[in-house]
Every structure is written in C-alpha cells, then in structure tokens.
Amino acid sequence: MSSRNLIIIGALVLAVGAYIFFIEQHQPTTTERLEKADRIFAQLDESAVIALELRTSRGVINLEKIDDDWQLVEPLVYPADAGAVRSLIQSIVALESERALSFDEIELSDYGLDAPILGLALVDDAGARFELAVGTETPLGPKRAVRRGEDDEVLLCSGTFVSSLDKELDQWRSRDVVETFESELASIEVATSADLIRVTRAGNHWQLEEPVADLADAEQMRSLVSELNALRISEFLTEEDPRTDPGPDGWEYRIVLTPADGGEAVTLELAAPTKDATAITSRRNGAELIRIPEGIRTRLAKAPVLWRAPKVWPFSSLDAGKLEISSEVDSVLLDEVDGLWVFSDGGEADGAEVRRRLNALVDLEVREHDLVQPPTEVMGSVILVLDDDEGAEGLTYTFYAPIEIGGHAAVTVSARNNVMGVDAAIAEMILGDLDRLHPARVDANSDDQGATDIE
C-alpha cells in the first residue's frame, strides 16, 4: 500500500474519531431517544425554565425565576415555594402521551377542552413557550385529556400532575420565615417587656452589648439562627382573623436580625401562645401576619445571663501558633513549626504535653462572672497567638490565686472585659511544672532503654 493511501486512510480515521468525540458522544443514546419519544414536551429542559403561567381553578398565578430564586409575581409579589415549583416543572417535563386523538375523532367539549379551566405555559431562557391546556378527567381511570399549544389533536396522559398544578395561592408561597446565614448578620436583638438582649458581630465572634458587655455564647447564636431558618409558616393570616390580636400584653418577643451588608433588617414579633396551642401568631416586618410553631419560644426564653460564653475564650488548639507560659518561678516560649512545637532555642518540645495544656485552655469553663479584681497574687500568665490573629499580639490570660482554700482561681483575658472564676486545679495544671514540656530523654545508664528522666 502506498504512503499516499496510508495518509488518506489515517486522515479518515482521525476524522471519524473527531466526529465521535465532538459530535456523536453528545447525542442522546437510543434509550434516551426512546424515553423522550412519548414525552409531550420532548424539547423541554427543566433547568432552562424561567417562568410559569398557570391557570388554576382559583385563578391565574404567574411565577418568575429572579436571580435563581422563584418569585410569585401575580396575583401578588411574594417569594415562591421552590419545592412546589420544582415539583410541577418536573412532572410536566416527564409527562408522556399514552394516546393521540385527532379532532376528526372527537368533540373537544367531551374532554373539557372547549373552554378548559386548567392550563399552563412554561417559558425557557431562550424564549420558547410550552403551552398545555388541561381538560377533565376521562371516564376510563385517572387519565387527563390535554392539548399542546395549537395542535389539532388531543393527547391522553396520566392525570397525576394536576395535583401539582391546581393549588391554592398560599400553597405557592414560600413557607420560610427567615432565610439568612449567621455569617451574614451584623447584629441580633431579642426584646421582651422586661429584657433586651443585643449581640453584635465582632470579627469571628459574637459580642454581647446588652444586658451586659461580654463575649456571647457562639453556640447559642448558631442555634438561634439555625432554629429561625428552620421555622416554617403553618398558616397565612388576614387582619380580620381574631388570632392576629397578640393579647392584652402585646407581643411577647421581638426579634431583629440586621444584615452585615447594610440591607433591610428582618423583624419578627411573637405573641404568647394560647392554651394547648402548637402554633403562635407572629408579625413579620411590622405587617405580615403568620402562624409559626411555638417551640422557638424555648430558645428565646433563655435567661440573659446564659447568653454569655460559657468558656473563657473559644478557639481551636489546631489554630495555635505561639504559646508563652509564665509561672511564679519560670517561663517558656514555644512556636509551632511544621506541626512540631519548638522552644525559642530551637529545641523540640513534648508535643503531647503542649497539646494537653492547650486543650485545657480550650475547655476552661467560666464558673463565676463579674468578679472584682482579686487582691491575691498572680499565679501566672499565658500568651496565646493564633494563626489567624492579624495583630500577632495574641491573647493574654492572667491567673490569680484563689482567695480561700478550695475557692475558684480568677482569670482575665485581654480580649474579654470580665473577671471570671475558674477551676483552680485546672489553672495550676496549665501553669505548673513547666519542665514537663521538655521531651523525655533516654537514660544511657539504665538497663531498660524505655526508662526516662525529665530534664
């Protein structure tokens, strides 16, 4: 075979390969073609739908996808229930024709298609419209007669999709009470007739401003925002509903969520529950009246003092980069380098012992708040620098001896305006016997190579 023929054959092979790679592999398979063959809207792509126009037995309902979120736009403007919208679109995409009847064979009135009550149109992002008129149920089982656009035929199909189409207006409304992330908030307020709790974002932490200035309980804040996000509206109320009256004492709680981006705050007012009620009336943003589960009150009823951080300072021991521990008689300076803790002279420290003290700092619980500055001597101090600490000055813990035997040691932290009582034994463990931070060494004179001395 000549070189010329080999070149031609090679070029043909490359061309066929390129066609398969770039064209054929993107074509639907035989199975996919068969699955689409009977679909009423074979070209409808669920992900491309951006608008729905619905004719229901209750009236016209229009929805639009705005910034990836579904919105009701008619008969009212309101966030839509994304699950309800998705369910309808999926049912229409999957809808299959089981039989086609030409206009010559039937009367439209026999199938409720001369003046159909139900219908819909889906619009995709290319502007294509997929219209469907929905007739009445057929006598032969739960089938529906439908007409696709202006086609001159009637299609018979499963009628299960009708339950996703013919809904009350409120069933299309989003049931979310609050939609936010903890990290997106600048402040949270919870007010009652007697108390005001105000918490503001301070870097990676929450700071109590009212009723006292102190570090806030991060877990309490996460749980509160999580519970608010999990709330679902059980019922939409009109102003004429007697349940909209919060009672003689007014609204029991008022929650204000202020976003960090300067957007409009979300306000939620809660009425006290009536006897044996599982839901309470709430007013959102001073106007909208809804019913929500009453369980959220348990979180809000937590005493103001319990909103304070239960640990002396929250951090992860994995984030520690520098550690200086000073006792009454000694001090050590440690740096974390490539996963190892080393002394200032470059010698390696006992990693397990360093972690033991760091973990004790992490878990150090506040046993008492707002103590007076103790007149007792200083037991020692710890300077902790975290990897994400921009200032590199770190946190300074100062420990004071208990005033009485068996009492709490006192501690202050440079980033927290509070003198706190902590377990004295844990304070002594963090500060004491700094020689233990040096690694154990093998005693060359010992017959047992596992025997060690502590430097």
Residue 16 is predicted with a pLDDT of 62
Q: Assess contact for 168 and 185: CB atoms under 8 A.
A: no
Q: Is residue 92 part of a domain?
A: yes
User: How far apart are the C-alpha atoms of 198 and 14, rounded to whole Å?
Assistant: 70
User: Are 100 and 8 within one domain?
Assistant: no
User: Are 2 and 120 within one domain?
Assistant: no
User: How far apart are the C-alpha atoms of 76 and 362, rounded to whole Å?
Assistant: 52
User: How far apart are the C-alpha atoms of 363 and 312, rounded to whole Å?
Assistant: 8
Element (H, E) at 403: none
Query: pLDDT above 70 covers what percent of the chain?
Result: 87
pLDDT above 50: residue 368: yes
User: Are 161 and 45 within one domain?
Assistant: yes
| pLDDT, tens digit, 9 for 90 and up, residues 110-159 | 899 999 999 999 999 999 999 999 998 887 678 899 999 999 999 999 99
Q: In which domain, by residue range, is 14 found? A: 1-31
User: Are 191 and 70 within one domain?
Assistant: no
The residue assigned the tokens 């951090």 is: 315
Residue 2 is predicted with a pLDDT of 63
CA 300 vs. chain centroid, Å, equals 20
Residue 86 is predicted with a pLDDT of 97
User: Are 49 and 5 within one domain?
Assistant: no
Out of 172, 201, 235, pick the residue that ends a domain: 172
User: Are 257 and 153 within one domain?
Assistant: no
Asked which of 271-280, 356-365, 398-407 is least confident by mean pLDDT, the reply is: 271-280
424-431 vs 351-362: helix crossing angle, rounded to 10: 150
Residue 249 is predicted with a pLDDT of 85
Query: pLDDT above 90 covers what percent of the chain?
Result: 71
User: Are 78 and 11 within one domain?
Assistant: no
Cα distances (Å, whole numbers) of residue 64 to 86, 184, 223, 406: 12, 26, 33, 68
Mean pLDDT of all residues in 347-357: 95
Mean pLDDT of all residues in 309-314: 94
Residue 6 is predicted with a pLDDT of 65
Residue 24 is predicted with a pLDDT of 52
User: Are 20 and 54 within one domain?
Assistant: no
β-pair partners for 400: 378, 410
Residue type, 154: V
Structural domain tally of the chain?
4
Q: Is residue 62 part of a domain?
A: yes
| pLDDT, tens digit, 9 for 90 and up, residues 21-47 | 655 554 444 444 445 558 999 999 999
User: Are 432 and 325 within one domain?
Assistant: yes
User: Are 150 and 195 within one domain?
Assistant: no
